[in-house]
Amino acid sequence: MAPKTMKKMKTAVSWFEIPAKKIGRAKKFYEALFDIEMQDLDMDNELKMTMFPVEEGGIGGALCEHKDWYKPSMEGALVYLSANPDLQQVLNKVEKNGGKILRKKTKISDEYGYMAIFQDTEGNRLALHSMK
């Protein structure tokens, strides 16, 4: 049987949501790490969301708090957040802001750059990526 022609995707990710136990604490953590200002979304009474800033055409995401729908986790999918130009600058802020470094800056390859893994203030396992 001949192999199927693989269809290419423009990008594999279109949106991401990071669970939070206390969205205010999580927002403070990520704003400090990336030196950004996040935008709160007006949702219903039980769902709280705050969005990461994103350039037009970029991939967006949010922190989300809901007692039944979102549970922080060290298991499952691993989201890599862009920390260009050098993820070490962001990684240096993780522990100062209440997170934990799980894997220090590690070279993937010359072609793919570097990665690191951390735990946020909510108990989520996330990763950083940069080319330097």
**pTM for this entry:** 0.88
| Cα–Cα separations (whole angstroms), residue 13 to 2, 56, 58, 81 | 29, 15, 10, 12
Q: Tell me the pLDDT band of 1, cut-offs 50, 70 and 90.
A: low
pLDDT digits (tens, 9 = 90+) for 84-115: 999 999 999 999 999 999 999 999 999 999 99
- Please give the Cα distance from 58 to 130 (Å, whole number): 16
Q: Is 35 helix (H, G, I), strand (E, B) or coil?
A: coil
Adjacent-strand bridge partners of 79? none
Helices (H), 1-132: 23-34, 87-94
62 within some domain: yes
82 within some domain: yes
51 within some domain: yes
Structure-token pair, residue 55: 């350039």
Q: What is the CATH number of the domain that holds 98?
A: 3.10.180.10
- Please give the Cα distance from 104 to 116 (Å, whole number): 5
57 within some domain: yes
Range of the domain at 26: 15-130
